[in-house]
Amino acid sequence: MADHTKIKVLFLAAEADPLIKVGGLGDVAGSLPLALRKVSAANNQPLSDMDVRLVLPFHSAIRRDLYPIHQVAEFKVHASGSDIFVKAYTLEVDGLPVYLIGGAPIEQEAGVYSSNLEADGFKYVFFSQAALNLVKELNWIPDILHANDWHTASAVYSLALNRLIDPFFRQTASLLTIHNLPYLGSMTSNALEAFDLPPAENTSLPSWAGHMALPLGLLTADVIVAVSPGYSKEIMTEEFGSGLHTFLKAHSNKVTGILNGLDTRRWNPATDQELPANYSSATLETRLSNKIFLQNQLQLKRDPAIPLLAMVTRMDPQKGVDLAVDALRWIFEAPSTRTSPVQAIFLGTGDPKLEQAVRQLESDYPDSIRARIAYNEILSRHIYAGADILLMPSRYEPCGLSQMIAMHYGCIPIARATGGLSDTIQDPTNTDQSTGFLFKPASSKALVEAVRRALAIFSQDQQSWQSMQIRGMQQDFSWDRSAIEYIKQYKMLLEKQKGLRINN
C-alpha cells in the first residue's frame, strides 16, 4: 500500500441509493460504502481508516438534482480497434466521493438494466474497464477492488489479467460480492472479446462458463462474499449453484458470507414520519393504532384481534407468491378459519400471472383479502407498522430485506428456511429467543403449517407474541455490523498481498 494509514477501496456497482435505485443492490451500494467510512472513523473501533470511493455508470436516470456535480476527467477506453470516449464526473454523498462514468455504451441505454442483454453486457463491461482507467487518470491506487454481481465482475477479471504486468495495480486485491448468483452475465461474451478480455480455458470453471462475466470474476477474485452466511453455503449445492456449485465448492476456501444490513435511520418506527403513530419496543402498545389505521385504509373490518397477514414483494416465482396464494386459499377454506377470521394484504408488481392470481384471491374473498398491484413505499411502511405477520415463502433468498424491516417494525415474519432468511429469523422450535417462524419445503402445505403455528400463538398467548415482537425489534441489523466484517476481509486480503510482496 502506498499509504499505510488508510485502506483504499474502489467500490463498483450498477446502482446506488439515493442517486439511482432499482433493486436490493441499490440499497447495498448506497449504504455499505458510507458504513465502511463510519465504522473506520469511530474511536472505539480498532480498524484501519478507510478511503472508499464509489463508482457508478452515469445513467440518464441518475438524480442530478441532489448534489453538485463536477467533471474530473476525460479519457479513452480501447475496444475492438477503436477508442470509446469517456467523461467522468464527481460528487459527494455525506462525505463519500462518488464518480459517475459516461460514455456512448452507457448513454445509449436509458435504464439501469434493459431487456437487450447483449447491449447491457457491452455497457457494463465498458463501465468496468472505464472504472479501472479512471483511477489511473486520478493517480489513485486502490488497495481493494470491491465489485458487485456480474455487472462489475469483468473488472475483477481484467485486474487479474493485468496486475502482473501493470505496476499501477500490482498490489491491488479483489473482492467480489454475489447478490444473486443466477444472473451470470450470460450475454457478455462479445463484449469481453471487444475489450480484449479473452475467455478462460483449461480452468476449473465449467466450459460453458468461461466466456461469462460473473464466472470469470469468481474465478479470479481473491475473495468471494455472498450476501449471507446461509447463501454462501447454498451456492455450493446443485439446487442453488446455477451450474457453478462444483467450482464454488472446490474454491470454498475463498468463499464467505456477510449478511447485508438495514438502514436503521431510514427504517425506524420511532421516527418514521409516514406512520400515523410512532412507537418503539418500549411502547409497543402504541403500534395497535397503526393496525387500526391500516385496516381502515384497506377497508377491512377494524378489529385488532383479527390477525392481519401481509406480503410486500416483487411478484416473482422466486418470492413464492404462488405458494402464499395457495396457502391462503387453503386457510380460508378450512372450517376453523370460518369461525376465526384472518385478513391479508398483498403489495407489489411483477409477473402478470401472479398479479392476476392475487387479484383473483381478492375477488374470491372480498371481505378479507386486499390486492394492491403497485409500488407504494408509503403503503409498505404502513403495512410493516400495522400488519401482524409478514409472509416470505421465497424459493431462494440470498439475503432478504423485508424480513429485517418487518422485525424492526414489530411485524413477525413467516419465511422459508433459505439463505439470509435462516440467518436472520429464529424459529420457536429451535430457540426460546424466537423472532419469527421458518418452514423448509417450498410448498404451500408447509407454509400453511407455519401460519397455523403463528396464529395459535397470536390468538392464545399474546404475552409470548409480544415478547417475540420485542426481540425482533431489538435485533442488530445495522450496516455497521456488516461493514466491520467487510473490513476484516479487506485487512486479511492486504496481509496476504503483503506476504506475497515479501516472498517475491
Q: What is the pTM of this model?
A: 0.92
Q: What mean pLDDT value characterizes the chain?
A: 93
Q: How confident is the model at residue 43 (pLDDT cuts 50, 70, 90)?
A: very low
Report the range of poorest mean pLDDT among 3-17, 291-305, 395-409, 466-480. 3-17
With a cut of 50, say whether residue 3 has pLDDT above it. Answer: no
Span 446-469, mean pLDDT?
Answer: 95
Angstrom distance (rounded) from CA 316 to CA 294: 25
Amino acid identity, position 140:
W
The pLDDT tens digits for 129-163 are: 999 999 999 999 999 999 999 999 999 999 999 99
Which phi and psi (to 5°) does residue 448 adopt?
A: -60, -45
Q: CA separation (Å) from 177 to 13, 124, 255?
A: 10, 16, 10
Q: Are strands 49-57 and 70-79 parallel, antiparallel or unpaired?
A: unpaired
With a cut of 90, say whether residue 22 has pLDDT above it. Answer: no
* pLDDT greater at residue 48 or residue 374: 374
Quickly list H helices, 212-286: 213-220, 229-234, 245-250
Positive or negative, the CA dihedral 384, 389, 391, 397 is positive
With a cut of 60, say whether residue 270 has pLDDT above it. Answer: yes
The pLDDT tens digits for 91-133 are: 999 999 999 999 999 998 878 998 899 999 999 999 999 999 9
Domains of the chain (ranges plus CATH)?
Answer: 6-261+480-503 (3.40.50.2000), 281-476 (3.40.50.2000)
Angstrom distance (rounded) from CA 400 to CA 397: 6
10 Å Cβ neighbour count for 258?
A: 22
pLDDT of residue 100: 98
Contact 155, 32 (CB under 8 A): no
Nearest alpha carbon to residue 485 among 177, 247, 96, 231: 177
Nearest alpha carbon to residue 12 among 153, 171, 119: 153
Task: Identify the DSSP state of 415.
Answer: E
The pLDDT tens digits for 360-413 are: 999 999 999 999 999 999 999 999 999 999 999 999 999 999 999 999 999 999
pLDDT of residue 339: 54
Angstrom distance (rounded) from CA 358 to CA 372: 9
Q: How confident is the model at residue 2 (pLDDT cuts 50, 70, 90)?
A: very low
* pLDDT greater at residue 175 or residue 114: 175
Contact 372, 379 (CB under 8 A): yes
pLDDT of residue 500: 60
Q: CA separation (Å) from 351 to 314, 320, 323, 380?
A: 8, 12, 14, 19
Task: Identify the DSSP state of 411.
Answer: P
- Using a pLDDT cut of 90, give the percent of the chain over it: 86
Amino acid identity, position 253:
N
